[in-house]
């Protein structure tokens, strides 16, 4: 059973958790944590070992169990588990030499693996190789492609021709290709192709929290099993990529409505609190991501309701328990862990007395934030 200590900490909440099952289109509300009846738990290992519960089999029972302070004999002030989550988002630095710069109008906009470039060389009227003193060998677009519209159309046709075998998970969603945030967009690129072209990708992540009697609680989402990426893993209450032509604040309010049913009258109060960044290189992928972070204090009575079928359910947990899940497991979608770690810093849950405090703080911006 869930411990009495967690039940006591949530006793005064009218809603502890809410589940939205896309298959039944029904919602069950639990008023006390004792509603959970965990089975005999599979082995759930701490952060320094592989997690044995896969995302596909992850249940809310697993989340509750691993979040309890007494579930493992570990020290909350030990930052090791947090460092491991940062490392998960910053892999492959030793393979950077395997990538060509992708240059447009004299500016680097991405990086492409030698193996992926071989696919693109089948389309010489779209992509060409060149050399310069400044960049060395690099890939660029054919000189005949002058306008953003022409480039978007030509590159988009190539992405479609390469198909799912080369670029899986096509979403028909365009991201801007720029040299830096807010700079001129050279063209727009299919979202699924972004890591293969190594372009900078921007997104918004929101910590939705509730405060009661001096204690903070975070709403946590569980991704739908049908999501093309990280199905069944834990996620923020609201998060999403930043598509072409939508300001951060407007995009956040749109995502709030779609993912959690948060009306604009509430979501407009979300506070921008900074950004995290990381560079993750794996295989042909070169992810250079920047996530703009927001905090939104929600009414105690608010219960999220997913509107787009991309969320399997929600749970409200004490911030300290969410921190335990991050330290001890890999249940969260990797970049969500970084945004929540940033929240823990800003709200005083990670303290300067912990060894590695400044190093961890700096590591949350391991990629370039411009």
Could you tell me if 33 and 39 are in contact, meaning their C-beta atoms sit under 8 angstroms apart? no
Strand residues in the chain grouped as ranges (E):
17-21, 26-30, 99-104, 107-113, 127-132, 136-141, 174-177, 187-190, 200-212, 215-223, 234-236, 238-241, 271-282, 285-297, 311-318
Closest CA to 295 of 323, 324, 327, 266: 266
The reported pLDDT for the residue numbered 326 is: 97
Across 251-273, average pLDDT: 97
Strand intervals (E) in 87-199:
99-104, 107-113, 127-132, 136-141, 174-177, 187-190
- The Cα 146–Cα 260 span in angstroms is 41
* Ramachandran angles phi, psi of 259, nearest 5°: -90, -30
Which of 49-58, 61-70, 215-224 shows the lowest per-residue confidence on average (mean pLDDT)?
49-58
Q: How confident is the model at residue 54 (pLDDT cuts 50, 70, 90)?
A: low
pLDDT tens-digit series, residues 5-26: 443 344 333 333 433 332 222 2
Cα–Cα nearest to 66, from 339, 289, 323: 323
Q: Which residues contact 340 (CB under 8 A, 6 or more apart)?
A: 207, 218, 236, 322, 323, 326, 332
> Nearest to residue 304, comparing CAs of 197, 233, 218?
218
Residues 6+ apart with CB under 8 A from 137: 100, 129, 130, 131
Q: Average pLDDT of 334-343?
A: 98
Q: What pLDDT is recorded for position 324?
A: 97
| Count of Cβ atoms closer than 10 Å to residue 368 Cβ | 12
* pLDDT, tens digit (0-9, with 9 covering 90-100), for 167-182: 998 888 999 999 999 8
Torsion from C-alpha of 143, 141, 246, 342, nearest 10 degrees: -140
Q: Is 140 exposed, middle or buried (0-12, 13-18, 19+ CB in 10 A)?
A: buried
Q: Are 142 and 127 in contact (CB under 8 A)?
A: yes
Q: What is the per-residue pLDDT across 96-144, written as a single tens digit (0 to 9) for each?
A: 999 999 999 999 999 999 999 999 999 999 999 999 989 999 999 999 9
Of 230 and 19, more confident:
230
Question: Each residue of 75-90: pLDDT tens digit?
Answer: 999 999 999 999 999 9
Q: β-strands 311-318, 215-223: how paired?
A: antiparallel
Bridge-based pairing of strands 187-190 and 200-212 is unpaired
Burial tier of 187 (Cβ tally within 10 Å: 0-12, 13-18, 19+):
buried
Rounded-to-integer distance, Cα 152 and Cα 266, Å: 36
Q: How far apart are CA 194 and CA 191, in angstroms?
A: 5
- Contact (Cβ atoms closer than 8 angstroms) between residue 273 and residue 204: no
Mean pLDDT of the chain: 86
User: How far lies 163's CA from each of 115, 158, 284, in Å?
Assistant: 16, 9, 15
State phi, psi for 164 to the nearest 5 degrees. Answer: -65, -25
Q: What is the pTM of this model?
A: 0.85
- Which domains does the chain possess? 4-90+201-363 (3.90.79.10), 93-199 (3.30.750.160)
The string of pLDDT tens digits covering residues 181-214 is 989 999 999 999 999 999 999 999 999 999 999 9
């Amino acid at each position: 059973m869930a411990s009495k200590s967690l039940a006591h900490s949530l006793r005064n909440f009218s809603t502890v958790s809410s589940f939205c099952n896309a298959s039944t289109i029904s919602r069950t509300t639990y008023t006390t944590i004792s509603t959970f009846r965990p089975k005999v738990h599979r082995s759930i290992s701490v952060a320094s070992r592989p997690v044995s519960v896969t995302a596909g089999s992850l249940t809310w029972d697993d989340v509750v169990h691993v979040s309890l302070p007494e579930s493992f004999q570990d020290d909350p002030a030990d930052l090791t588990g947090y460092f491991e989550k940062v490392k998960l988002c910053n892999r492959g630095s030793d393979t950077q030499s395997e990538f060509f710069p992708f240059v447009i109008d004299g500016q680097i906009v991405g990086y492409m693996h030698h193996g992926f470039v071989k696919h693109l060389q089948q389309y010489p009227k779209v992509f060409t190789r060149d050399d310069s003193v400044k960049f060395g060998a690099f890939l660029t677009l054919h000189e005949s492609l002058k306008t953003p519209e022409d480039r978007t159309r030509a590159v988009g046709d190539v992405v479609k021709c390469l198909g799912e075998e080369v670029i899986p998970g096509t979403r028909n969603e365009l991201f801007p290709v720029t040299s830096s945030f807010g700079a001129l967009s050279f063209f727009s690129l299919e979202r699924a192709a972004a890591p293969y072209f190594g372009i900078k990708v921007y997104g918004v992540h929101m910590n939705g929290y509730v405060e009661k009697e001096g204690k903070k609680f975070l709403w946590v989402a569980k991704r739908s099993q049908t999501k093309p990426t990280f199905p069944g893993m834990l996620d923020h209450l609201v998060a999403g990529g930043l598509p072409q032509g939508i300001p951060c604040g407007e995009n956040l309010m749109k995502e709030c409505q779609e993912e959690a049913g948060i009306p604009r009258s509430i979501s407009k109060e979300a506070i921008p609190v900074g950004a995290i960044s990381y560079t993750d290189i794996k295989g042909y992928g070169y992810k250079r991501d920047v996530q703009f972070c927001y905090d939104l204090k929600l009414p105690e009575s608010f219960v999220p309701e997913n509107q787009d079928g991309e969320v399997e359910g929600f749970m409200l947990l004490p911030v300290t328990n969410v921190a335990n899940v991050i330290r001890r497991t890999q249940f969260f979608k990797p970049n969500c862990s970084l945004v929540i770690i940033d929240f823990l810093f800003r709200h005083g849950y990670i303290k300067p007395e912990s060894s590695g405090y400044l190093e961890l703080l700096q590591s949350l911006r391991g990629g370039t934030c411009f």
